[in-house]
Amino acid sequence: MNKKVANVEEACQGIESGMTLMLGGFGLCGIPENSISELVNLNVTGLTCISNNAGVDDFGLGLLLQKKQIKKMISSYVGENDEFERQMLSGELEVDLIPQGSLAERCRAGGAGIPAFYTPAGYGTEVAEGKEVREFNGKPHILESALTADFAIVKAWKGDTAGNLVFKGTARNFNPMMAMAGKITIAEVEELVEPGELNPNEIHTAGIFVQRIFQGKGYEKRIEQRTVRPKN
């Protein structure tokens, strides 16, 4: 089955204001840059965005925050985004901060059809407020619900036209589980090949989870905090 679409404009058709979106990536690594730019162009508003963090002020999801297109962020890290911090502290942006492991597992559970699970992470903190608590092996656990989205938007290193995806390095942290949890999953890739060209033992996300795929372009691959050793 050929999942290839011509470009990012075709890939993002059907995304509307008020929807819930999952966006893969870790920091600025493995984020769907082309698709985020298209969301800015579409001017959709009132979005609920599920992402580990919100990029920086002028890149990644920071571009959507600048235009006040995001109503709610479900994430684990405020990070380097001053505008995200400002909107959160001022009450302009609704924010649900989740322990990073819990966020990853809630996305994975959504893709696996598991409605909820118990975890010790967050017990005794604000994260646990209003949630069911049960004890397992003498340790309290809180009940966390799965996360799903109208659209999951991910970015892979390589993919084929059947939707099979290979992620590289840190991009594997959130992209694979989010690809499973969207009603419609859009994948942008650096290199798009024909079926059979990918080593089946190296595929991280099976094509059955992907509905649309396209080859992106112009990736900046920024680094949030560059640290180098001084010259001797």
**Percent of the residues in the chain that have a pLDDT greater than 90, as a whole number:** 83
Spatial separation of the C-alpha atoms in residues 80 and 225, rounded to whole Å = 9
Query: Which residue, 77, 86, 22, is CA-closest to 55?
Result: 77
Instruction: Identify the DSSP state of 56.
Output: B
Q: What confidence tens digit (pLDDT) does each residue in 80-105 have? A: 788 888 998 999 999 999 999 999 99
Spatial separation of the C-alpha atoms in residues 210 and 126, rounded to whole Å = 35
Measured CA to CA in angstroms, residue 114 lies from 55, 107, 146, 204, 231 at distances of: 29, 10, 7, 20, 52
- The H-or-E segment that residue 152 falls in is strand 149-160
13-21 mean pLDDT: 98
Return the residue matching tokens 């235009």: 67
**Percent of the residues in the chain that have a pLDDT greater than 70, as a whole number:** 100
> Are 107 and 74 contacting, i.e. CB atoms less than 8 angstroms apart?
no
Q: Model-level pTM?
A: 0.93
Point out the least confidently predicted range of 14-23, 84-93, 183-192, 218-227. 218-227
pLDDT at 28: 87
> Are 219 and 35 contacting, i.e. CB atoms less than 8 angstroms apart?
no
Mind listing the domains of the chain with CATH numbers? 8-114+148-215 (3.40.1080.10)
Measured CA to CA in angstroms, residue 138 lies from 117, 121, 122, 134 at distances of: 17, 15, 16, 10
